[in-house]
């Protein structure tokens, strides 16, 4: 293992990084079975290096029966057979390090698969030593122990006839929740984490960390089924005492390694962010907060209001300034494609994909790109429920159907929001199956691949891909874009998102028109005349007093 490389990392190395998220199942198939795999990722490392990536996060690649595509782990220290072997993983890690990049893996520790040996033991008898590693309860009056609903629909409890008790599963019934109260269970997880860190992985993205602590009384939610959801009433989302678990894990494991940790943190606002990533607390390095993605992942198909978006991002930027670090992202494997949901796919596909990119990428924090986002991949069309793969889409379909909602209407909804949109195979070129595989892929390729693919965009200087490359180059070149303070300007403008990054004797302005109409402004605090243009997503130069539809520009401002 290339440990010299990892040992030499400077402190906070991840602040300068550009991160890229890989969904292994859909990235690249190297052995002709229609399923992406680890060797496929290794094959494409040169592509990622050329793009300018230095931090790669891969979604779960562990042994799993794939009820939730790998987020249901049956062995933390084995590789899923479809993805390859541990030797393939070691080679991938080595090849990543050889290129001066880092590899972060997904840590799924809120739950395991129901096929994990720990759970098999736990369910075997009420007296098994591992019984308490999961959350078992008696039924209440012949029904579930409480009124909690699963995140993927249905009750969060599953009755197990063998021992006549219920176990808790916040996700699918095949993903039983681990009991973090149990110290032996925690110690076993910590051993597993150290094992990966000793192998040389550079950190973890921590799945569903916000759910690890449950109300010890497991009391009913005050606002169950169908009523307005109030996060602060939640009995397992950021529940009091959660940070004690996090601290324990940090002291026992993370503190002993020079790694990066990023928690998946649903349900908190900017004011709570500091408790998680404030550097003085010495907890996590970053979190993926959800507030902004919620704006375009809601069930209606409306684009988000630019002002609401500014409010959310600005709040996070200000709240963490000088205290902690933001993870910047607009897509991941749990949402649908941003250019479809929020951009203007028909008239301004290229412009909107690049304007959205410039808008989020140059804020203060570590930018993450989700595979395919860098070429402006769009949502697919799913004609029937059979075309979907994701357990969450299927459960949502069944749930709405049972409530009497019309099939066409449900399909329409899923065609906006389903996670499958971001899981269709990566579009490498215009050959069969988009160059992802020469066998029929596990999930159908988006049929626009002859128009949207890596190979074509590599040739086209104006492509979305080349714009991402330019953004990355710029961020690497300009210290101000890493360290400079974020300052929102044109605060109330309804089309423009504009902000400055203020460094020492240096100011950079990012100005993006997030609408399909020309946008001008009167405010003379932002004057473009005579400033130095560093980057733009239009080829022909524009004017100094307005921006064309979805135009984005970056300037060095005179100080
Ligand atoms: C996280 C993952 C998601 C998964 C869930 C359960 O939210 O990102 O893909 O389904 O946790 O593990
Ligand atoms: Ca394969």
> Active-site residue among 207, 331, 351, 551?
207
For the cut 80, the answer to whether the pLDDT of residue 302 exceeds it is no
- Give whole-number Cα distances, 298 to 85, 86, 291, 293, 417, in Å: 39, 39, 11, 9, 8
CB pairs under 8 A, 24+ apart, for 299-304?
299/413, 299/416, 299/417, 301/341, 301/416, 303/341, 303/342, 304/342
Average model confidence (pLDDT) for the chain? 95
Contact indicator for 364, 486 with CB cutoff of 8 Å: yes
Q: How far apart are CA 362 and CA 468, in angstroms?
A: 11
Contact indicator for 411, 384 with CB cutoff of 8 Å: yes
- Report the candidate in 63, 57, 66, 71 with the shortest Cα–Cα distance to residue 105: 57
**pLDDT recorded at residue 297:** 79
pLDDT digits (tens, 9 = 90+) for 491-526: 999 999 999 999 999 999 999 999 999 999 999 889
Encoding tokens for residue 126?
Answer: 């009420």
311 — phi, psi (to 5°)?
-60, -45
**pLDDT recorded at residue 183:** 98
For the cut 70, the answer to whether the pLDDT of residue 256 exceeds it is yes
Of 61-70, 148-157, 216-225, 315-324, where does mean pLDDT reach its minimum?
Answer: 216-225
Q: Residue written as tokens 């799924």?
A: 108
Give, for ligand 1, the residue of 212, 334, 335, 418 to mutate: max count of ligand atoms closer than 8 Å to Cβ: 334
**pLDDT recorded at residue 225:** 56
pLDDT digits (tens, 9 = 90+) for 543-552: 999 999 999 9
Give, for ligand 1, the residue of 70, 208, 287, 420 to mutate: max count of ligand atoms closer than 8 Å to Cβ: 208
What is the distance between the terminal CA atoms of the chain, rounded to a whole angstrom? 48
Of 132-141, 148-157, 205-214, where does mean pLDDT reach its minimum?
Answer: 148-157
Contact indicator for 52, 18 with CB cutoff of 8 Å: yes
For the cut 60, the answer to whether the pLDDT of residue 227 exceeds it is no
368 — phi, psi (to 5°)?
-115, 140
Q: Residue written as tokens 């794939």?
A: 66
**pLDDT recorded at residue 2:** 45
**pLDDT recorded at residue 193:** 98
Of 226-235, 361-370, 399-408, 507-516, where does mean pLDDT reach its minimum?
Answer: 226-235
Render 395-424 in DSSP notation, one character per residue. HHHHHHHHTT--HHHHHHHHHHH-GGGGGS
Q: How far apart are CA 367 and CA 53, in angstroms?
A: 10
For the cut 60, the answer to whether the pLDDT of residue 461 exceeds it is yes
Mean pLDDT, range 11-28, rounded to an integer: 97
The single-letter DSSP state of residue 110 is S
Cα(71) to centroid(ligand 1), Å:
6
Q: Residue written as tokens 């520009």?
A: 553
Angle of the 391-402 helix axis to the 407-417 helix axis, nearest 10: 150
Mean pLDDT, range 31-52, rounded to an integer: 98
Task: Point out the ligand 1 atom lying closest to the alpha carbon of residue 334.
Answer: 9
Cα(442) to centroid(ligand 2), Å:
10
Domains of the chain and any CATH numbers: 13-112+183-380+449-472 (3.20.20.80), 117-168 (3.90.400.10), 485-557 (2.60.40.1180)
> Active-site residue among 264, 291, 390, 420?
264
Give, for ligand 1, the residue of 207, 389, 417 to mutate: max count of ligand atoms closer than 8 Å to Cβ: 207
**pLDDT recorded at residue 230:** 67
Largest interatomic CA distance in the chain: 77
For the cut 70, the answer to whether the pLDDT of residue 217 exceeds it is yes
Rg over CA atoms, the chain: 23
For the cut 70, the answer to whether the pLDDT of residue 102 exceeds it is yes
pTM score: 0.97
Q: Is 54 a catalytic residue?
A: no
For the cut 70, the answer to whether the pLDDT of residue 157 exceeds it is yes
23 band by pLDDT with thresholds 50, 70 and 90: very high
Mean pLDDT, range 8-20, rounded to an integer: 93
The single-letter DSSP state of residue 140 is B
Encoding tokens for residue 221?
Answer: 């939610």
For the cut 50, the answer to whether the pLDDT of residue 276 exceeds it is yes
| Residue scoring higher pLDDT (424 or 303) | 424
- Report the candidate in 529, 549, 526, 524 with the shortest Cα–Cα distance to residue 538: 549
Considering only CA atoms, which residue is closest to atom 12 of ligand 1?
71
Residues near ion ligand 2 (CB < 5 Å) are: 29, 31, 33, 35, 37
pLDDT digits (tens, 9 = 90+) for 522-539: 998 899 999 999 999 999
Mean pLDDT, range 231-253, rounded to an integer: 93
Q: How far apart are CA 516 and CA 253, in angstroms?
A: 49
228 band by pLDDT with thresholds 50, 70 and 90: low
For the cut 80, the answer to whether the pLDDT of residue 298 exceeds it is no
Select, from the ranges 141-145, 231-235, 465-469, the one with the highest average predicted confidence (pLDDT). 465-469
Q: Residue written as tokens 């959800």?
A: 290
- 39 alpha carbon, closest ligand: 2
Q: How far apart are CA 395 and CA 410, in angstroms?
A: 11
Q: How far apart are CA 108 and CA 178, in angstroms?
A: 10
Q: Residue written as tokens 């089924």?
A: 225
- 38 alpha carbon, closest ligand: 2
**pLDDT recorded at residue 229:** 62
Task: Point out the ligand 1 atom lying closest to the alpha carbon of residue 332.
Answer: 8
For the cut 80, the answer to whether the pLDDT of residue 301 exceeds it is no
Q: How far apart are CA 511 and CA 508, in angstroms?
A: 10
**pLDDT recorded at residue 1:** 45
480 — phi, psi (to 5°)?
-60, -30
**pLDDT recorded at residue 226:** 55
Q: How far apart are CA 489 and CA 109, in angstroms?
A: 41
For the cut 60, the answer to whether the pLDDT of residue 4 exceeds it is no
Q: Is 207 a catalytic residue?
A: yes
426 band by pLDDT with thresholds 50, 70 and 90: very high
DSSP reduced 3-state for 155: strand
Task: Point out the ligand 1 atom lying closest to the alpha carbon of residue 392.
Answer: 10
**pLDDT recorded at residue 233:** 78
- Give whole-number Cα distances, 174 to 56, 138, 156, 206, 338, in Å: 28, 19, 11, 19, 30
Contact indicator for 28, 428 with CB cutoff of 8 Å: yes
DSSP reduced 3-state for 161: coil
**pLDDT recorded at residue 77:** 98
In the structure, which protein residues have their CB atom closer than 6 angstroms to any atom of ligand 1? 68, 71, 108, 171, 207-208, 264, 333-334
Q: How far apart are CA 199 and CA 219, in angstroms?
A: 41
Percent of the chain with pLDDT over 70: 96
- 25 alpha carbon, closest ligand: 2
Contact indicator for 121, 128 with CB cutoff of 8 Å: yes
pLDDT digits (tens, 9 = 90+) for 332-385: 999 999 999 999 999 999 999 999 999 999 999 999 999 999 999 999 999 999
The single-letter DSSP state of residue 306 is H
């Amino acid at each position: 293992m290339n440990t010299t490389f990892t040992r030499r990392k400077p402190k906070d190395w991840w602040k300068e990084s550009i991160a890229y998220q890989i969904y292994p199942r859909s990235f690249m198939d190297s052995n002709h079975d229609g399923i992406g795999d680890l060797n496929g990722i290794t094959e494409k490392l040169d592509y990622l290096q050329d793009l300018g990536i230095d931090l790669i996060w891969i979604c779960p690649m562990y042994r799993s029966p794939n009820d939730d595509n790998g987020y249901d782990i049956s062995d933390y220290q084995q590789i899923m057979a479809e993805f390859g072997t541990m030797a393939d993983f070691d080679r991938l890690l080595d090849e990543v390090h050889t290129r001066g990049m880092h590899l972060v893996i997904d840590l799924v520790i809120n739950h395991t698969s129901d096929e994990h040996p720990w759970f098999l033991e736990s369910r075997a008898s009420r007296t098994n030593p591992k019984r308490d590693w999961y959350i078992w309860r008696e039924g209440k009056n012949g029904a579930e122990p409480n009124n909690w609903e699963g995140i993927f629909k249905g009750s969060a409890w599953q009755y197990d006839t063998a021992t006549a008790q219920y176990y808790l599963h916040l996700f699918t019934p095949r993903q039983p929740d681990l009991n973090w109260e149990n110290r032996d269970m925690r110690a076993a997880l910590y051993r597993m984490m150290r094992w990966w860190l000793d192998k040389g992985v550079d950190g973890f993205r921590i799945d569903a960390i916000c759910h690890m602590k449950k109300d010890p009384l497991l009391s009913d939610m005050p606002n169950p089924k169908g009523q307005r959801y109030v996060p602060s009433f939640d009995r397992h989302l950021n529940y009091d005492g959660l940070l004690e678990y996090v601290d324990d894990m940090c002291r026992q494991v993370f503190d002993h390694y020079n790694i990066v940790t990023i928690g998946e943190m649903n349900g908190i606002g900017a004011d709570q962010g500091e408790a998680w990533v404030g550097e003085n607390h010495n907890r996590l390095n970053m979190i993926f907060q959800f507030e902004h993605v919620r704006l375009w992942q809601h069930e209606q198909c409306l684009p988000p209001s630019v002002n609401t978006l500014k409010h959310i991002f600005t709040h996070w930027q200000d709240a963490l300034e000088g205290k902690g670090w933001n993870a910047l992202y607009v897509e991941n494997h749990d949402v649908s494609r941003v250019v479809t949901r929020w951009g203007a796919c028909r008239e301004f596909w290229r412009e909107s994909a690049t304007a959205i990119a410039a808008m989020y990428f140059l804020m203060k924090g570590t930018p993450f790109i989700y595979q395919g986002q860098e070429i402006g991949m769009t949502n697919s069309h799913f004609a029937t429920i059979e075309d979907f793969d994701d357990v969450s889409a299927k459960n949502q379909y069944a749930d709405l159907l049972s409530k009497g909602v019309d099939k066409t209407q449900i399909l329409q909804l899923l065609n906006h929001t389903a996670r499958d949109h971001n899981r269709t195979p990566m579009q490498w070129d215009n050959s069969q199956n988009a160059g992802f595989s020469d066998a029929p892929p596990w999930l159908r390729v988006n049929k626009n691949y002859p128009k949207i693919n890596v190979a074509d965009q590599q040739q086209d200087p104006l492509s979305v891909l080349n714009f991402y490359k330019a953004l990355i180059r710029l961020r690497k070149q300009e210290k101000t874009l890493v360290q400079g303070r974020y300052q929102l300007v044109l605060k109330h403008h309804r089309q423009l998102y504009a902000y400055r990054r203020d460094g020492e004797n240096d100011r950079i302005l990012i100005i993006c028109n997030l609408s399909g109409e020309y946008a001008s402004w009167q405010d003379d605090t932002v004057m473009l005349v005579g400033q130095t243009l560093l980057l733009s997503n239009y080829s022909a130069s524009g004017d100094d007093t307005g921006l064309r539809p979805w135009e984005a520009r970056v300037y060095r401002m005179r100080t």
